[in-house]
Amino acid sequence: MNEYYDAIIVGTGAAGLYCALNLPKRKKILMLTKQGADLSDSFLAQGGICMLRGEDDYEDYFEDTMRAGHYENNKRAVNLMIRSSNDIIRDLLWRNVDFVRAEDGELAFTREGAHSRPRILFHEDITGKEITQTLLDQVKTKENIEICEYMTMVDIISKDNICGGVIAMNRNNEVFPVYAEHVVLACGGLGGLFHNSTNYPHISGDGIGIAMKHHVELEHLDYIQIHPTTLYSQKPGRRFLISESVRGEGALLYDKNGQRFTNELQPRDLLTQAITIQMEKGGTDFVWEDMRPLGEKTILEHFPNIFQKCMEEGFDPRKEPIPVVPAQHYFMGGISVNLASRTSMHGLYACGETSCNGVHGKNRLASNSLLESLVFARRAADDIIFGETPAFSNSVRLDLKQYEDREIILAGYHRMVKAEIERMKKVS
């Protein structure tokens, strides 16, 4: 790791990787990640990635996204995401992302909750891994991109509201100031702050806390999505997601008496509410999800990863319902950005789950996350290439003594974020 780069990207999920790949070879890029490069939440995305199914689908896709977001979405951001989707998918296909195809060779589409029609491309039930691993493999071939694993951003370097780099720290609490003309925060959401979450525990809102420290504008930190169906387990740790597309393909939800109690295809927040009410009513810790209507062929071919996990937990979804429970899943708020993924601090960008461009509103539509991440990661790259470069003074005097213990520093950021979430809940 050197001291100076053209761009620093914090995070190696889909957003960070795609941003790096869309920057020119002449730019020297450093990518930092808190754990291994393949331990981002992008790898965990199951369902798929949305795309516009022709002009006749535009109004429906737009309305589905707005309705799911309770019409609090940024309409310009929604339009940009949808209009960019075909170009993004073409690029992924060019990069050899392997989406499932129908017997005639055309792309196959599935449907998920709150979608009015099938418009979701997928790779079995590990679409996020297929996309993100493909991007990571390509990044590793680029001589201008350096990936530094197990290196944590503990602060940014700024002066006069201009960002000029980051303070990184390794597992031995060694501190490294690294400077760059542009810094991109693509370090994920804040699931690690919750006891029950589908996210990796190390993805815990560090970037949000650092932004707060530097008075970077934030938005809707209380917009936290609970996924209605995760596999119930008494074991500690991350909750395993039972994809939206399982219900989109026909799975049903039952109460403790084996009776349906709700519409399985309504938006996530409404379905979560219905499940929570049912658990309270029945005095249970979970409800039952029945995959048997899908048929054995669909279960084994479309959802092999989910099938295997259920079997490991002692449930055969071909023969019996599985227990499911809501858990924290996604963060719709974050660092406020414009349509170019610029933050309120010059030279600082944010994309992916770290950012809030308003595309999701108050509740994210299923399978919009990967698309949104890629669209606005490329917007960040475009702005870095063609936008004005802020003049940062390297004369900033750094007091590195304040960075003595990585865990203490991060814990402080996490407290700040939690406090702000609670404050926003009270005023909203």
Q: Which two tokens stand for residue 76?
A: 């310009």
Q: Name the nearest CA neighbour of 320 among 330, 310, 306.
A: 310
Taking the C-alpha atoms of residue 405 and residue 154, their distance in angstroms, rounded to an integer, is: 10
User: Given phi > 0 = left and psi -120 to 50 = alpha, else beta, which region is 100?
Assistant: beta
Q: Say if residue 113 is exposed, middle or buried (CB neighbours under 10 Å; 0-12, 13-18, 19+).
A: buried
Q: Name the nearest CA neighbour of 374 among 120, 82, 96, 32.
A: 82
From the CB of residue 319, how many other CB atoms can be counted at a distance below 10 Å?
A: 9
Which of 268, 342, 378, 406 is catalytic? The answer is 268
67 catalytic? Reply is: no
Phi, psi of 110 (to 5 degrees): -120, 170
Spatial CB neighbours of 121, under 8 Å, sequence gap ≥ 6 = 48, 49, 50, 51, 89, 99, 100, 107, 108, 109, 127
Q: Which positions are annotated as active-site residues?
A: 268
